[in-house]
Amino acid sequence: MKIGIIGAGAIGLLYAYQFSAIFPVTLYTKRMDQCKLLKEKGITLMENNSPAMNRKVQVKHISDMVKLEDDVILVAVKQYALHEIMPHLMGLNKEQSVLFLQNGMGHLDLAGRINDARPLIGVVEHGVKKLDDVTIIWTGKGMTKVAPLRKDCMDKQFLTLWEEGLEDCFPVQTRDNHKIMLTEKLIVNAIINPLTTLYRVKNGQLVHNRFYKNAMITLYEEISFLIEEEKKGEVWNHVLNVCRNTAENWSSMQRDIENGRRTEVEAILGYVIFSAKEQGKKVPLTEFIYTSIKGLEENYLYTPELRIEEER
C-alpha cells in the first residue's frame, strides 16, 4: 500500500518518517530547495534524550503531482493552503483514500467535495517541532484519531495495517463521528493556541499560572456552547490534560508567529465566531483574541513585499 504525503512541514515530516517503517512513502514538497535537501539527507527525527535517527523516503516536488497514484494521500498542509491542493484531490478514484490532518473545521466543506475517493478526517495529538527542512523534534507523543467523513468511506485496510504495524510507537484510534472528534480538538486548539501566542509562553504555563488559567476558564465558558452540556466537564479536563502532557511545548500558532508564517486562527477562532453567529451567541472574548492574533500577523508577519505577493 503506497502512501503519499502532501506537505513537508513538521507534521508531514513526522508522518513520512513514521510511515516509512511499514509503507512505501512519497513526500510532496512545495519548495524545490527542500525537495533537493530531503533527497540528499532524508528525514532526521530527534527525541528528548535519544540519539537522532534518519530515514529516507521518496520525495517529489509538488509540480510533479499531476496525477496522484498513491493508495492513501495524507494532506498535511495548513488549512489556508488547501485550495491549491484540491484540484489534485478531485481527480482521485474510488480505490484511493484522502486523510485530512488540518486543525479547525473549515476543511470539512472542501473534503465533502471529494466524491470518487474516500475522504477521512484526522486529528493529530503529537507535539512536533521543525528545526530545519529535514530535521524535526518529536516533543510530545500522542496518537492520531481518524474518522470517516461519510459512513461508507472508512479505509479499513489502511487503518488495520497502520494499527498493527505502528501500534507501539505511532498509534491510531478510529472514531465513528468526525464532528464530535473535531469539535473536541477545536476546543483544545481554540484555548491553548491563541492564549500561548498572546502570552508568549509554553503550554504548561497556562495551568501553572493562576491568571492564565482564569483566562482559560473564561474562554472555555464562552466557547463551550459547541459541545453538549453533559460533556463539558470531560472536555475541560481534556484541555487541562493536554496542557500538562505538552507542558514543555510551544503551540503551533506561537511558532507560526515567531517564524513569520500565517496562523490557522481563521480555521480555529474564525470557525467559533461563525458558529456563534449562526446560533445567536455572543462571544466577545473570542472576538477580541481573534482580532489580537490577526494584529500580530499584521505587525510581525507581513512586510509590504509579502502583502503584494499575497495579493497576487
Helix (H) or strand (E) holding 64: none
Catalytic (active-site) positions = 185
Other C-beta atoms lying within 10 Å of the C-beta of residue 129: 17
Pairwise CA distance, residues 69 & 95, whole Å: 10
> Which amino acid belongs to residue 271?
Y
Query: Are 35 and 68 spatial neighbours (Cβ–Cβ below 8 Å)?
Result: no
Interstrand relation of 43-47 and 53-55 (parallel, antiparallel or unpaired): antiparallel
Q: Which of 62, 54, 55, 11 is nearest to 34 (CA)?
A: 62
Query: Are 84 and 56 spatial neighbours (Cβ–Cβ below 8 Å)?
Result: no
Interstrand relation of 25-29 and 3-6 (parallel, antiparallel or unpaired): parallel
Helix (H, G, I), strand (E, B) or coil at 254: helix
